[in-house]
Chain A
Amino acid sequence: MFEAWNISELIILAVVVLGGLVLALDDWRGMLLAWALMGMGGGVLLQQTTEVPRELVGIQILDSALLTLLFYLAGRRAQTNIPRTLNARPVIHWRFRILAALFLYTIARMMAIRFPLPIASPPLLIVTYTLIGIGLLIATLSRSPLKAGLGVLTMLNGYQISYLSVQDSLLAIGLMAGMNLLVAFLIVALTLVRQEVSA
């Protein structure tokens, strides 16, 4: 148990740092890379701390990779047509965003310890709370649909980590993956519609 906690602590830290990077970076490609690695890290964390089947974790990792590719292609199209919107910086400086990520992580730790849920494990709850907080911050601070969408997906990623560990219905897990894809599709559609408008 103690060893598992140590390994998962490292992965938690990696996922949270990557989540912080998604929040702190201004360049959309950097954000996307950090987001992809964070999604994969979430999958590895799930495998380390719960009894989730290996196939499901594999699907989670593959899902992150495919969505990253989808966003990259949409972002590249947007880069040629609406570079100003895509590269618009949030009004808050990156140093404050890093501070906000640290603050969220501290709050998440406190919440997971003070208000534990009997079914979900504390490490997973910490990641879930942190990523939901970071995702919400990204979504509200960003000006382009692509970046705001990455925030929404960061929230969903964080949520999925807890959800997959407590949910044993395959249908529910499949539907959650479907919702992830739907949100990704909507983000790409919003980005491309914006292009259509500016063109």
Chain B
Amino acid sequence: MNFPLLILLAVPFLAAPVIYPLRRTPLAAPFSAAVAIALVGFMWIVPWPVITPRPDQATLGAPLVLLGRSLRLTEADRWALSTLWGGAALLFLTAWPFRFERRLYPLGLVAGGLWTIGLLLRPISLGTFFTGAAALLLALALLGEGHGMEGATQYLIAASLGFLAWVTAAWAAEQATLNPGQPLWTTLTMLLIGIAMVLWLGVWPAYRWVLLLFAEGAPVGAAFTVFLLNCGTWFWLLAWAQEFPWLPQLPGWSAGLQAMGILMMLSSAVLALAERGWGLIGGYAWLASSGLSWLALGLGTVEGIHLSAWTLWVRIIALLGLAFGLAAHRRMSGSTESGRISLDQGPWVIALLLGSGMALIDVPPFASFTARWALTRLLLPSRPILSLAWIGSTGLLGWALLRELTRPREETPPLRPMPRSAVWFGIAWWTAELLLLFISPWLGSQLRPLADAWIHLSPLE
């Protein structure tokens, strides 16, 4: 019995009932973050013996067998889970000053625990239920006090439809493995994975829930949800490709990922022009930034895959800033609409919103600019028009952000004072962004195992 793996799987579920009664107290956030950090530390402290059940697969410790199904941890899984739990810890700490985020702590731990099981469980058709349950459960973490119902309901619809698509895709993939000569199953698998990703990642035309979450819901809960769904799906797709190695070899795979990435970036930029409000524009900026990861992954080259893995980490800091800025804006003015708080009334809040928005759309001097620059250099020789279009999309989103900043202040009810934590969070955030700029080469080299897992599976030229 692999006890360390059992502990890793059980701790989130054991910690959640302890944190639930504490959720209204200031203890909940640091406690949840400590649990998440402890999980990351545990994964790296335990001296896992490397076991090779198959020549092409090495696991950390023996697979854990529960109800006749095996759960196994690989090197790529360890990186994936470290990213997920590390990001979760940072988001728990971000939610600390805000009372309306109190549901996030226990639900975030349970959702993270379910996603961990889903990622490690084989066959993948059963893992789908756990990732689906994690995605659905987060609907409750999206509600603030007196707001967020519309977004949570729309999210519930998208998450349940996406779950059905994943379950059917897993079934179709199993049929494809059993009946190798029938193209129906491979086509069906590809189509359903595409539908599931469109729904879970908020790709146009199923994008509206992402915006509503940021604009109306609890912002840190929303950030947790999009973070888990985006990064989690990246790792989840890797698990699919490992389970069904024929998937990345299909002709539509690369094109589908690229189309999705391009659609996310370009549609967000165009649609953002028609919207107003920090929450909505922040949502579009997130969609555009996550589109870059999928486009880079879809390129199927070594550089593209490395770039895609790197953007997963570099986005977390920007997302934290956006979530905190929106939550502070909501606490001061009761909403995330623009024109409510001027720069002199909440300088740190507005600076965070602007800075994180710029970091998400990859404007210099933020570290994420290097990702956009590298991808532009990759794309420019082969697809110059597309490269120009997506440089233009940055301009459109930047303009939308600038418009929010310059919008004159409206006559609104009196504001609550700026949260004192905004100053400390702001200093920490800007320092982290600066540090990110300097340590980005080191970060890129750390993520090599994740990228290598994809590279082994992709049909590289």
Contacts and interface: CB of A to CB of B under 8 A. Distances in A.
Interface in A126-155: 132, 136, 139-140, 145, 148-149, 151-152, 155
Interface in B24-78: 67-69
Given A163-B167, A172-B125, A179-B132, A155 B139 contact: no
Contacts of B164: 132, 155-156, 159
Nearest to B145: A197
B175 A186 contact: no
Interface string B416-459: 00000000000000000000000000000000000000000000
A152 B167 contact: no
A113 interface: no
Contact of B133 (A169, A179, A194): A179
Interface stretch (B91-99, B148-156, B282-290, B398-406): B148-156
Contacts of B67: 171
A155 B164 CA distance: 9
A139 to B, nearest CB: 5
A140 B164 CA distance: 17
A197 to B, nearest CB: 5
A163 B165 CA distance: 12
Contacts of A59: none
B358 to A, nearest CB: 34
B140 A197 contact: no
Contact of B139 (A139, A163, A167, A190): A190
B136 interface: yes
Given A151-B157, A159-B164, A179-B129, A186 B139 contact: yes
Contact of A197 (B129, B146, B156): B146
A152 B160 contact: yes
Nearest to B142: A190
Interface residues of B, number: 29
A186 B157 contact: no
B270 interface: no
A166 interface: yes
Contacts of A186: 136-137, 139-140, 156
A136 B136 CA distance: 16
Interface residues of A, number: 34
B143 A179 contact: no
A107 interface: no
B149 A183 contact: no
A152 B156 contact: yes
Interface string A116-129: 01110000000000
B378 interface: no
Nearest to A115: B184
A193 interface: yes
Contacts of A187: 156
A94 to B, nearest CB: 21
Interface string B154-195: 001100110110011001000100000000100000000000
A182 B153 contact: no
Contacts of A148: 153, 156-157
A155 B161 contact: yes
A149 B156 contact: yes
A160 to B, nearest CB: 10
A145 B157 CA distance: 10
B165 to A, nearest CB: 10
A67 interface: no
A7 interface: no
A175 B160 contact: no
B126 interface: yes
A189 interface: yes
B195 to A, nearest CB: 12
Interface in B112-137: 125-126, 129, 132-133, 136-137
A179 B171 contact: no
Contacts of B68: 171
Nearest to A162: B168
A175 B137 contact: no
Contact of A182 (B136, B157, B161): B136
A90 to B, nearest CB: 14
Contacts of B126: 169, 171-172, 175
Contacts of A171: 67-69, 126
Given A156-B160, A172-B126, A179-B133, A166 B171 contact: yes
B181 to A, nearest CB: 12
A156 B153 CA distance: 16
A113 to B, nearest CB: 15
A167 B171 CA distance: 9
Contact of B157 (A139, A175, A194): A139
Given A132-B164, A172-B126, 13 more contacts: A117-B184, A139-B157, A152-B160, A155-B164, A172-B129, A175-B129, A179-B129, A182-B136, A183-B160, A187-B156, A190-B149, A190-B156, A193-B149
13 contacts: A119-B175, A139-B157, A148-B153, A159-B168, A176-B167, A179-B129, A179-B136, A182-B133, A182-B137, A183-B136, A190-B140, A190-B156, A197-B146
The 7 closest A-B pairs by CB, nearest first: A175-B129, A139-B157, A197-B146, A152-B160, A148-B153, A159-B164, A145-B153
Interface of A: 117-119, 132, 136, 139-140, 145, 148-149, 151-152, 155-156, 159, 163, 166-167, 169, 171-172, 175-176, 178-179, 182-183, 186-187, 189-190, 193-194, 197
